[in-house]
């Protein structure tokens, strides 16, 4: 998974669909972006990129009192866990990391190794979350067409549920304490981050990329989110979940390749005339031969002056 997805639902829609008990998206939280996020966190984002804040569903015991620390990294006992909707930063920063830059390398976690890998093991045991999305983008490398630099031409695809329902990516989250800020009640003292778990791509989608997000079904949401469920065998069962045939994918325009691009137009299918050396994920056939591209370029450039 290359690291881009569409999160187009409003918080009210997610609260209903994911049976959220506590909406915390309006609370102040630390951002690592140098400029204000665009679109603003918690609003529909058709091109959500790493380092942005995104809506995430998790279950956690509420803070014991209004005067407690702004973050609730230690509130795992006492009250029963409450299902919450929060804004977390994409790119997991382990609690022991020296700085927040580590998150840039931790946007994804492999399902096959997440229980053993040091950066993810503790979160996999009790800090699991769901990341709502309409779908995700992936870039397919053409086996026959090259770009002007001689590299395989990359075609973006958008993958989504065939039934139109919201996806629930399996994820993990962590709290990171900035020791440079003395006051633990200062929201800027804490950074809460998440990573998306990936698994082997199913037949068809593997013609686009060899990995895909792990998408869980509603019947498994409660188990995955339960912070008191620390049975490694049960976690491993969910990490191995597979249900081929749920998704469809189609090529989209190259505008999505820029993280400055946004809006519903990014989800529109690319025209067939714009496809060059693209492998159809369903049939395996190549759409748009490279010689057709050359012919189109010659046509658009006009006649060669004598």
Maximum CA extent, the chain: 84
Give the Cα separation of 279 and 296 in Å (integer). 20
For 100, residues 6+ apart whose C-beta sits below 8 A from its C-beta are 32, 93, 176, 178, 191, 193
For 257, residues 6+ apart whose C-beta sits below 8 A from its C-beta are 139, 154, 156
CA 268 to chain CA centroid, nearest Å: 20
DSSP-assigned letters across all residues of 107-127: SEEETTTTTTSTTTHHHHHH-
Give the Cα separation of 46 and 5 in Å (integer). 7
Give the Cα separation of 67 and 78 in Å (integer). 17
Contact (CB, 8 A) for 279 and 207: yes
- Active site residue: 2, 13, 112, 248, which one? 2
Give the Cα separation of 78 and 31 in Å (integer). 29
Cα four-point dihedral sign 102, 106, 112, 115: positive
DSSP 271: P
Q: Is 149 helix (H, G, I), strand (E, B) or coil?
A: coil
Give the Cα separation of 206 and 220 in Å (integer). 25
Catalytic-residue membership of 2? yes
DSSP 287: E
- Active site residue: 19, 112, 129, 138, which one? 138
Residue with tokens 């949401």: 221
Contact (CB, 8 A) for 88 and 171: no
Catalytic-residue membership of 272? no
What are the catalytic residues? 2, 138
């Amino acid at each position: 998974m290359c690291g881009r997805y569409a999160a187009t639902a409003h918080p009210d829609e997610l609260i209903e669909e994911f049976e959220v008990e506590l909406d915390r998206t309006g609370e102040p939280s630390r951002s690592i972006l140098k400029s204000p996020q665009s679109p603003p966190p918690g609003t529909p984002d058709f091109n959500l990129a790493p380092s942005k804040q995104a809506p995430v569903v998790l279950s956690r015991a509420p803070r014991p009192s209004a005067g407690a620390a702004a973050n609730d990294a230690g509130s795992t006992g006492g009250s029963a866990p409450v299902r919450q909707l929060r804004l977390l930063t994409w790119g997991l920063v382990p609690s022991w990391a020296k700085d927040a830059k580590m998150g840039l390398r931790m946007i994804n976690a492999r399902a096959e190794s997440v229980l053993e890998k040091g950066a993810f093991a503790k979160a996999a045991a009790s800090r699991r979350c769901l990341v709502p999305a309409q779908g995700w983008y992936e870039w397919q490398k053409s086996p026959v067409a090259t770009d002007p630099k001689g590299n395989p031409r990359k075609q973006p695809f958008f993958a989504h549920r065939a039934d139109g329902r919201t996806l629930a990516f399996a994820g993990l989250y962590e709290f990171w304490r900035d020791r440079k800020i003395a006051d633990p009640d200062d929201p800027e003292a804490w950074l809460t981050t998440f990573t998306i778990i990936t698994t082997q791509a199913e037949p068809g989608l593997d013609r686009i990329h060899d990995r895909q997000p792990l998408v869980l079904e509603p019947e498994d949401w409660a188990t995955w989110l339960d912070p008191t469920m620390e049975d490694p065998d049960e976690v491993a069962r969910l990490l191995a979940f597979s249900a081929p045939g749920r998704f469809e994918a189609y090529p989209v325009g190259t505008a999505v390749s820029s993280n400055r691009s946004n809006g519903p137009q990014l989800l529109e299918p690319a025209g067939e005339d714009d496809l060059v050396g693209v492998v159809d994920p369903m049939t395996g056939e190549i759409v748009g031969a490279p010689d057709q591209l050359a012919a189109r370029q010659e046509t658009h450039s006009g006649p060669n002056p004598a």
